Amino acid sequence: MKKVVKFGGSSLADAKQFQKVKDIITSDELRAYVVPSAPGKRSDADIKITDLLYECYELAAAGKNFYEPFLAVKDRYNEIIQGLGLSLSLKDAFDQIEDKLLHSPERDYTASRGEYLNGLVMANYLGYDFIDAADVIFFDEHGFFDAAKTYPTLASALEAHEHAVVPGFYGTSFDGKIKTFSRGGSDITGSIVAAACRAVVYENWTDVSGLLMADPHIVSSPAVIKSITYRELRELAYMGASVIHEDAIFPVKKAGIPINIRNTNKPDDPGTWIVENTARRSKYTITGIAGRKNFCSIIIAKDLMHSQPDFYRKVVQCFEEKEIPLEHILSGIDTMTVIVHEKKFIEHEQEVLSRIATLAAPESLEVESGISLIAVVGRSMKSQAGTASKIFSALADARINVRMIDQGASELNIIVGVLNEDFERAIRSVYHIFVDVEK
Helix (H) or strand (E) holding 319: helix 311-320
Pairing status of strand 164-165 against strand 129-130:
parallel
Write the single-letter amino acid at 257. Answer: I
Radius of gyration of the chain from Cα atoms? 24
- The three-state secondary structure class of 280 is coil
Report CA-CA distances (Å) from 52 to 56, 57, 107, 424.
6, 9, 12, 33
What is the spatial distance between Cα 124 and Cα 134, in angstroms, rounded to a whole number? Answer: 19
Q: Which three-class secondary structure string do you get for 217-232?
A: CCCCCCCECCEEEHHH
User: Which residues touch 156 (CB under 8 Å, ≥6 apart)?
Assistant: none
Alpha-helical regions (H) of 104-220: 107-126, 147-159, 186-196
- By C-alpha distance, which of 7, 190, 179, 165 is closest to 88? 165
What is the spatial distance between Cα 10 and Cα 97, in angstroms, rounded to a whole number? Answer: 24
Cβ atoms of 49 and 9 closer than 8 Å: yes
Q: Which string of DSSP letters, residue by residue, matches 38-55?
A: ----SSTT---HHHHHHH
* Model pLDDT, residue 183: 84
Cβ atoms of 234 and 195 closer than 8 Å: no
* Model pLDDT, residue 409: 62
Distance in angstroms between the alpha carbons of the first and the last residue of the chain: 38
Q: Tell me the pLDDT tens digit for each residue of 335-366.
A: 999 999 999 999 999 999 999 999 999 999 99
- By C-alpha distance, which of 311, 301, 293 is closest to 367? 301
* Model pLDDT, residue 244: 83
What is the spatial distance between Cα 237 and Cα 233, in angstroms, rounded to a whole number? Answer: 6
Query: 216-239: string of b/e by CB count within 10 Å (b at 16+)?
Result: eebbeebbbbbbbbbbbbbbbbbb
For residue 281, count other CB atoms closer than 10 A to its CB: 11
Going from the N-terminus, what domains does the chain have, and what CATH number goes with each?
3-275 (3.40.1160.10), 288-436 (3.30.2130.10)
154-160: long-range pairs with CB below 8 Å, 24+: 154/192, 154/193, 154/196, 155/196, 155/197, 157/131, 158/33, 158/131, 158/193, 158/196, 158/197, 159/197
Regions of the chain where pLDDT drops below 50:
none
Pairing status of strand 164-165 against strand 170-172:
unpaired
* Model pLDDT, residue 224: 93
What is the spatial distance between Cα 167 and Cα 16, in angstroms, rounded to a whole number? Answer: 20
Q: Tell me the pLDDT tens digit for each residue of 369-405.
A: 999 999 999 988 877 778 888 999 999 999 999 988 8
What is the spatial distance between Cα 259 and Cα 201, in angstroms, rounded to a whole number? Answer: 6
